[in-house]
Chain A
Amino acid sequence: MSVTADVAVVGVGPAGLAAAVAAAEAGARVAVVDAGNQPGGQFWRHAPESVREADGHGHHGWSTYLDLRARFDAARGAGRITYLPGLQVWMAERTGLPGSAEFVLRTTAAVASSGAAPATVAADRLVLCPGGYDRQLPVPGWELPGVMAAGGIQAFIKANGVLPGKRFVIAGTGPFLLPVAAGIAEAGGKVLAVLESSSPSAWLPHLGAATGVPEKALEGAEYAAVFAKHRIPYRTRSIVTEVLGPDKAEGVRTAKVDADGRVRPGTEREYADVDVVGFGWGFTPQMELPVALGVETRLDADGSLVGVVDERQQSSVPGLYLAGEVTGVGGATLAVLEGLAAGAAAARPDSHVPVKQPAAIARHRRFARAMHHAHPVPAAWQDWLTPDTTVCRCEEVTAGEITEARDSLGARDIRSLKSFTRAGMGWCQGRVCGFAAGCLGAGPGEMPDAGSLASSAKRPLAAPVGIGELAALDN
């Protein structure tokens, strides 16, 4: 199948949903591709609509979703939006041919049994809103079954209405650990502890006020109430040092850390009877499509590689707009604001209609920056590893193998570590281990620079694709 449009949007989470709506309402013909089966993305993920009507339970900003969703459905009804769910973009190309569409997207069914037929989408402008995924720092035992990404636990609950286990420990850093734990407790799970590596003492209300985003203060108060109701211990300056097995997660060892993340001797303790451990160290924006199209990138305050955009969300590539996590991890409200700006600009690239709510975007970016500074990746995290800790889960490459390649072969960036050790060469193509491998390559206490991260985000196949499908490419 082939679809042509004025504007193509990849991703229909908060940013993409807003972008599609804004572009369609400004008169553009819009094509929307998303790997999921229904709109919502990560933040507004909900059970299949064929099974259960979404009631917004456990969601924030649900009224915003309902508003955008109604406008999205209306534009679809009016034939202005072509929605292509269940398809994963595996390649985005610039044609560079005068007279033909500037961007071409190639897609493949995200799930083979879904029956979604691959489509090729050609469009003059492209808005990329692919979001991100939980960032991970390996610790001994993190490869055991029962260990999950914190966001993955939340996604599981939102989509399935059940829990992946009974007794949980959530660890990492960032305010996002709060809704994860709250969601588990509200769904009937026991959260033994939330371990936060930094010490953001009542920062949420404080920062919310300081940066002019009062709704964050409200959210903070809400979580505090849930934590109190379910008696969830929230331990700051604390980490999981090891997940205890042997064949699946059965407990965790924890410790207190200093401001740099160094374990304070004598503070170790154990939690037994744990069946799910959730880790989240912020998020990694999904950068392969922007990088493949050649956008200028930068390092954000949280150490992530993100795309550079102007005030209309346009990247350094003319006609290519970015919104949501790929411009800097900043939460759903910001993603919606950016999506609205990007969609409107992509629909009318030559008009100079001023961006709506530029002040709100700036405020949320400020808040995000403050949040990243309050929740850094602990400088000493590499000390938590033993030489045989798995770093690359797919290819089973250990920390020892990585530091050996660094020290004896001079591998410093993620790309050369991958060449020499196979870290990042497996199914996930370094999405999960890339950041951690980059830290190890950069050396103790260091984080990867933009060049190193870009070498990892270079994934010219943005998703696995059948060789039979490739053979059938008309070209």
Chain B
Amino acid sequence: MTTQPVTISFDGRPLTAAAGQSVGAALASQGITAWRSTRKGGKPRGLFCGIGVCFDCLVTVDGEPNQRACLVEACEGMEVEGS
């Protein structure tokens, strides 16, 4: 079992997450509640359904766009970007 915390980056800033946490949890537990703005209204969005249904929580992970932050497990060195 790997219980060491992991370090990821969010928009270039380093961020520590507990092992096994989702990217969404890593962000939210640091007080980051929004990481995307909507196309039409430019409104901030973050987690909503928490289980992969709503697609509100989309992030870019290691260059792969539109990943659901609530489902992606944070891994050491992962680069996460909002949009």
Residues on A lying within 8 angstroms of B by beta carbon are 35, 37, 42, 47-48, 50-53, 110-113, 133-134, 143-149, 151-156, 159-165, 247-248, 275, 393-396, 426-428, 431-432, 464
In the complex, the answer to whether B50 meets A35 with C-beta atoms within 8 Å is no
In the complex, the answer to whether B3 meets A163 with C-beta atoms within 8 Å is no
In the complex, the answer to whether A394 meets B55 with C-beta atoms within 8 Å is yes
CB distance from A394 to the nearest CB of B (A): 7
Across the interface, which residues of B come within 8 angstroms of A51, CB to CB?
Answer: 1-3, 19-20
The residue of chain B having its C-beta at the shortest distance from the C-beta of A248 within the complex is B33
Across the interface, which residues of A come within 8 angstroms of B18, CB to CB?
Answer: 160-162
Which residues of B, 22-71, contact A by the 8 Å Cβ criterion?
22, 24-25, 28-29, 33-34, 38-41, 43-56, 58, 61-62, 64, 66-68, 70-71
In the complex, the answer to whether B29 meets A50 with C-beta atoms within 8 Å is no
Query: If A133-B53, A162-B25, A428-B53 touch, does A47 touch B48 (CB 8 Å cutoff)?
Result: no
Query: If A51-B3, A427-B58 touch, does A42 touch B51 (CB 8 Å cutoff)?
Result: yes
- Say which residue of A53, A162, A426 sits within 8 Å of B29 (CB atoms): A162
Across the interface, which residues of B come within 8 angstroms of A155, CB to CB?
Answer: 50-51, 70
In the complex, the answer to whether B21 meets A395 with C-beta atoms within 8 Å is no
Across the interface, which residues of A come within 8 angstroms of B66, CB to CB?
Answer: 464
In the complex, the answer to whether A156 meets B47 with C-beta atoms within 8 Å is yes
State the CA gap A384–B32 with chains docked (Å). Answer: 29
CB distance from A371 to the nearest CB of B (A): 22
State the CA gap A164–B24 with chains docked (Å). Answer: 9
In the complex, the answer to whether B49 meets A432 with C-beta atoms within 8 Å is yes
In the complex, the answer to whether B1 meets A50 with C-beta atoms within 8 Å is yes
Across the interface, which residues of B come within 8 angstroms of A396, CB to CB?
Answer: 38-41, 43
Would you list 9 pairs from A and B whose C-beta atoms are within 8 A, ordered by A residue?
A35-B52, A110-B52, A113-B72, A133-B51, A147-B48, A152-B47, A156-B70, A247-B44, A427-B58
Across the interface, which residues of A come within 8 angstroms of B67, CB to CB?
Answer: 111-113
Across the interface, which residues of A come within 8 angstroms of B1, CB to CB?
Answer: 50-53
Given contacts A248-B34, A394-B56, could you give 15 more A-B pairs where the C-beta distance is less than 8 Å? A47-B20, A51-B20, A110-B52, A111-B67, A112-B61, A113-B72, A113-B78, A145-B34, A146-B33, A147-B48, A151-B49, A155-B51, A156-B25, A427-B58, A428-B55
CB distance from B51 to the nearest CB of A (A): 5
Across the interface, which residues of B come within 8 angstroms of A151, CB to CB?
Answer: 49-51
In the complex, the answer to whether A163 meets B29 with C-beta atoms within 8 Å is yes
CB distance from A143 to the nearest CB of B (A): 7
CB distance from B41 to the nearest CB of A (A): 5
In the complex, the answer to whether A48 meets B33 with C-beta atoms within 8 Å is no
* A-contact bits for B7-25, CB 8 A (1 contact / 0 none): 0000000000011111011
Across the interface, which residues of B come within 8 angstroms of A428, CB to CB?
Answer: 53-55
